Amino acid sequence: LRLEVHLRRAVEKRELQLYYQPRVDTKSGQIKGMEALLRWIHPEMGFISPAKFIPIAEETGLIVTIGEWVIREACEQNRRWIDCGFPPLRVSVNVSGLQFQQANFVELVRSILEETGLDPCYLELEITENSMINDVEDNIATLMRLREMGVYISIDDFGTGYSSFSYLKRFPIHALKIDQSFVRDVATDKNNAAIVKAIVQLAHHMNVSLVAEGVEDEATFRFLQAERCDEVQGYFFSRPLPAEEFERMLAAGE
């Protein structure tokens, strides 16, 4: 409960930061976009993992305010990078279920895009399967409106949730992000290899991109390349970086 009190102040006190991790095109090796990942650096307690504070933010409803800050910050930063003359990239942000279910969510995204002047095609929202299985009809309508706006949508942690194919076929999405637990050891674990191969095929037959997260070594990357996974993300390419470091990496790559 103490953590909750600290978390309430964290937004006002600017203790939250976004780190950025590149999403790499499997074929060309080029950076195609970046995932914004929330970090909390508390003056006394130090670094607090999102795995620890996101669940508290969800229980207390604080995630709605925090999530709004995340989208705005990611859009502002991305707009700055485009204004600097870097080749435009898409930034993806994690949206929690509670945030996605807010009645004004679509209008919030629209107003943030207007305020920041970011073209909607440079924003992607990552939503987990579990966030969408209640009120499926409403959620599909929300996804449709976001899609019509030009925003990209992906399903995060794919394969770990409770959704079924009957929902999946109706979700108007651009990408599936296969969960790290299937990607890890894919080069040596037969079951993971079978699952990843099947999901690549599933994604492609459904006309959506497949993104593999948690790529930590070259063998895993080679496997995903051979299986024609579209994008890869993980420590093998880069850890999530503070904005200034991410910018240095972009500048070095030019």
Nearest residue to 147 via CA among 115, 163, 124, 179 = 124
Query: Applying CB under 6 A, which part among 141-149, 198-206, 209-217, 223-231 lies near ligand G?
Result: 209-217
Identity of the residue, 25 or 148, whose beta carbon is nearer to ligand G in the bound complex = 25
Burial of 93 (0-12, 13-18, 19+ CB in 10 A): buried
Q: Does 73 bind Na ion (CB under 5 A)?
A: no
Which residues inside 93-112 make contact with ligand G, applying CB under 6 A? 93-94, 96
- Residues 6 or more apart whose CB falls under 8 angstroms from that of 180 comprise 213, 214, 234
Binding mask 211-250 for Na ion (x = CB under 5 A): --x-------------------------------------
Distance CA 81, CA 102 (A): 29
Chosen residue from 10, 34, 62, 70 binding ligand G by CB under 6 A: 70
Distance CA 155, CA 128 (A): 5
CB count in 10 Å sphere of residue 67: 24
Distance CA 67, CA 132 (A): 17
Binding mask 107-146 for ligand G (x = CB under 6 A): ----------------------------------------
Q: Does 230 bind Mn ion (CB under 5 A)?
A: no
Q: Two tokens at 114? A: 């207007």
Contact at 8 Å (CB) between 101 and 43?
A: no
Q: Does 33 bind ligand G (CB under 6 A)?
A: no
Contact at 8 Å (CB) between 116 and 76?
A: yes
Chosen residue from 73, 156, 230, 231 binding Na ion by CB under 5 A: 156
**Tokens 């890890």 appear where?**
184
Q: Does 51 bind ligand G (CB under 6 A)?
A: yes
Minimum CB–partner distance for residue 179 and Na ion (Å):
6
Identity of the residue, 37 or 153, whose beta carbon is nearer to ligand G in the bound complex = 37
Contact at 8 Å (CB) between 196 and 212?
A: yes
Chosen residue from 48, 200, 240, 243 binding ligand G by CB under 6 A: 240
Please report, as ranges, the residues that interact with ligand G according to CB under 6 A.
Answer: 21, 37-38, 49-51, 54, 67, 70, 93-94, 96, 156-157, 180, 213-216, 234-235, 240
Binding site for Mn ion (CB under 5 A): 94, 126, 156
Query: Which residues in this chain contact Na ion in the complex, by CB under 5 A?
Result: 156-157, 213
